Structure 1
Amino acid sequence: MKNVLAGFLAVLLTGTSAIAADLYQAEPAPAYVDAPEVSVTQASGWYLRGDIGYSFNKLRGANYYQGGPGGYLADFETAKIKDSYNIGAGVGYQFNNYFRSDLTFDYMGKADFRGSTRGFCGNGAPCVSTDLAALRAYTLMANAYVDLGTYGRVTPYVGGGVGAAYVKWDKLRNTSCATDGSGYCDETTEHGGSGKWRFAYALMAGASIDVTCNLKADVGYRFRHINKGEMFAYENNGGPGRDKGLYSHEVRLGGRYVFNGCDTAQYMPPADIPLQPAVYK
């Protein structure tokens, strides 16, 4: 009887092991599927720009030769120019999402000048002169900008430029009147105006706003410095004169049209993503 039971248990254990072996299967290796391709746009390409602005101008002073070219150099007692407007256009290239450069040409509208000097009238009485003129400026400048990242539709930037400005002075009208209460005034003298190219540079800051994928609005500030130069010619024992340079603080509004701005420049395929097997409980 014991032998029979022992044989029965042996057969039972052998069958149980076989069933367990049949139930166990090795876990299959995870399958991999290709994720959808993700496009990454790299901003680059040519663009055209246009700007308008208002310029708060400051003349750094002016001087002239009293007694003609062989006389002594004297400063204007007062020398001021009024504010004016600016218009400009340019062409540029966006190298990547962070750097761009352009070449611009700007026109600064008429800025009236008013100055005064002290001396002696033709009758020997002490005099104060009233000097009236105006200037205009044409600026050609190469600029570079660093875009500081895009936040929604807004991209702040900083930049700088270097170039030359053609400053054109109108003729200067000089009228000297006595200060002794006599009412005496010399005849008005007109000095021919001067026009010359001068060194100029600028510093900029602002923000671009995406209107469409091709069109960007631009709101910015520009500081521009124009070097000193000739102002008016010798006439009637006075002159020539020179200004000591000028600078302006400009508030500007403009736009840039980017060619092929809506195109996707490059595609970056992502890494394969493993497909996890289903888990049954």
Structure 2
Amino acid sequence: MARSKLFALARTLTLAASVGAPSLAAAADLLPPPPPPPFAPPIEVGGGWYLRGDVGASIYDKTTYSSTYDYTGYADANRSYGNGLGGGGFAGVGVGYQFTPFLRGDVTGEYRYSTGLRGSEYYRGPDYDDGLGSYGNNKSTGHFDSAVVLANAYFDLGTWYGVTPFIGGGAGVAFNHVSGYGTNSTFTSPSYAYDYGHPSYGEGDDCYCQPSYAYKPVYDAHGNPVYQSQSYSKFYKSNTGTSFAWALHAGLAYNVTDAFKVELAYRYLNLGSVKTGTGSELCCSTALPAVKVKDIEAHDIKIGVRYLLGGLVAAPLPPLLPDYQPAPGPIVRKY
């Protein structure tokens, strides 16, 4: 009797195992699928490239005119000059690259204009009879403008509260242009009375006196010497010349956003020199040598903007996993 009960229990356990095993396998197949792989890192577009634009105002140092200017041959001690280049403005654009967080460079092109060239010379001439001196002056005017191309490098010195101080330098070429240049000159000296006390020549109405050349200045009724002035003008052709240019920069940049920055900067810019074309006088046909304007130096205050072209964008999503279909379980036979 006990033996029969043992066989019955064994058959029951075997039947339960055969029925439960497929259910456990199916339950295992219903577990959630593994998580998808992580997204790819963002892709950078544009790198460190940026665009820039600048506008500003300029003040020029006193320029130097070459010796072919209307200076006379008198000693420098008897001459004084008042040469200058009027203030002006400029505007430019450029493209650059941010190499590291502290180093960047760009190439810029700009157009500059000035209120004009101004030159003056006052000189004391020789003394004449009775110790009366002479004097003269030359006044020149002209137009000046320039196109400048520079390659620049900057060092950003760190950022505090969105403000980045920087320094830099640049070198390039200036296409300087001068036009409408001319000089008005005046020479003032005592008037002279000729001595007609020499014997007369000819007869009747044809009689005239031969003046002597030992002349003396003319004095008015009050004993003051009488002076007279002679004026003449010179005109020069327009000309454009190239010259080496270089610059020094210092300023502050403000981060409006990560990609958009505004700059306030000072720049020293040396534009080299420029010559006029040849000149002429109204009274003469002889060509006059060109006038050279040297040491053209500008002090610029400018406002600039920079826009960084580079940025991060999300990588494309990975392909979706196929719909999960659990594997069919084993066939269960019922007894």
Cα displacement string for residues 100-137 of structure 1 (whole angstroms, at most 9, x for unaligned residues): 000000111133111123578xxxx6421111112101
Contact 1:175 1:185 in 2 (8 A): no
The alpha-carbon distance between structure 1 residues 169 and 66, as it changes in their structure 2 partners (threshold 3 A), is closer
Match of 1:150 in 2: 159
Q: How far, CA to CA, are the matches of 1:171 and 1:76 in structure 2?
A: 24
Match of 1:51 in 2: 54
Shift of 1:183: 5.8
Match of 1:116 in 2: 120
Q: Name the SS for the 1:96 alignment partner.
A: coil
- Counterpart check, 1:63 vs 2:66: yes
How many residue pairs get aligned? The number is 218
Match of 2:294 in 1: 244
- Counterpart check, 1:208 vs 2:247: no
- Counterpart check, 1:188 vs 2:233: yes
- Counterpart check, 1:79 vs 2:83: yes
Contact 1:194 1:233 in 2 (8 A): no
Shift of 1:261: 4.4
Matching residue within 218, 235, 241 for 2:263: 218
Cα displacement string for residues 196-223 of structure 1 (whole angstroms, at most 9, x for unaligned residues): 0100000001011011122100110000
Q: How far, CA to CA, are the matches of 2:80 and 2:280 in structure 1?
A: 16
Match of 2:128 in 1: none
The alpha-carbon distance between structure 1 residues 130 and 185, as it changes in their structure 2 partners (threshold 3 A), is farther
The alignment's TM-score, normalised by the length of structure 1, stands at: 0.69
Match of 2:150 in 1: 141
For 1:49, give the aligned amino acid: R
Rg larger in structure? 2
Shift of 1:147: 0.5
Q: How far, CA to CA, are the matches of 2:269 and 2:69 in structure 1?
A: 31
Q: How far, CA to CA, are the matches of 1:263 and 1:159 in structure 2?
A: 32
Q: How far, CA to CA, are the matches of 1:226 and 1:169 in structure 2?
A: 13
Q: Name the SS for the 1:212 alignment partner.
A: coil
Match of 1:128 in 2: 137
- Counterpart check, 1:258 vs 2:315: no
Q: How far, CA to CA, are the matches of 1:64 and 1:134 in structure 2?
A: 20
For 1:201, give the aligned amino acid: W
For 1:252, give the aligned amino acid: K
For structure 1, which runs of at least 5 residues remain unmatched after alignment? 1-38, 265-281
The alpha-carbon distance between structure 1 residues 174 and 218, as it changes in their structure 2 partners (threshold 3 A), is same
Cα displacement string for residues 53-110 of structure 1 (whole angstroms, at most 9, x for unaligned residues): 111111431124379xxx99x9983211111111111000111100100000011113
Match of 2:185 in 1: 176
The alignment's TM-score, normalised by the length of structure 2, stands at: 0.58
RMSD: 3.0
Q: How far, CA to CA, are the matches of 1:152 and 1:210 in structure 2?
A: 9
Match of 1:12 in 2: none
For structure 2, which runs of at least 5 residues remain unmatched after alignment? 1-41, 126-133, 190-225, 315-335
- Which one has the bigger strand percentage? 1
Match of 1:106 in 2: 110
Contact 1:112 1:134 in 2 (8 A): yes
Query: Percent identity, aligned pairs only?
Result: 28
Contact 2:119 2:139 in 1 (8 A): yes
Contact 2:47 2:309 in 1 (8 A): no
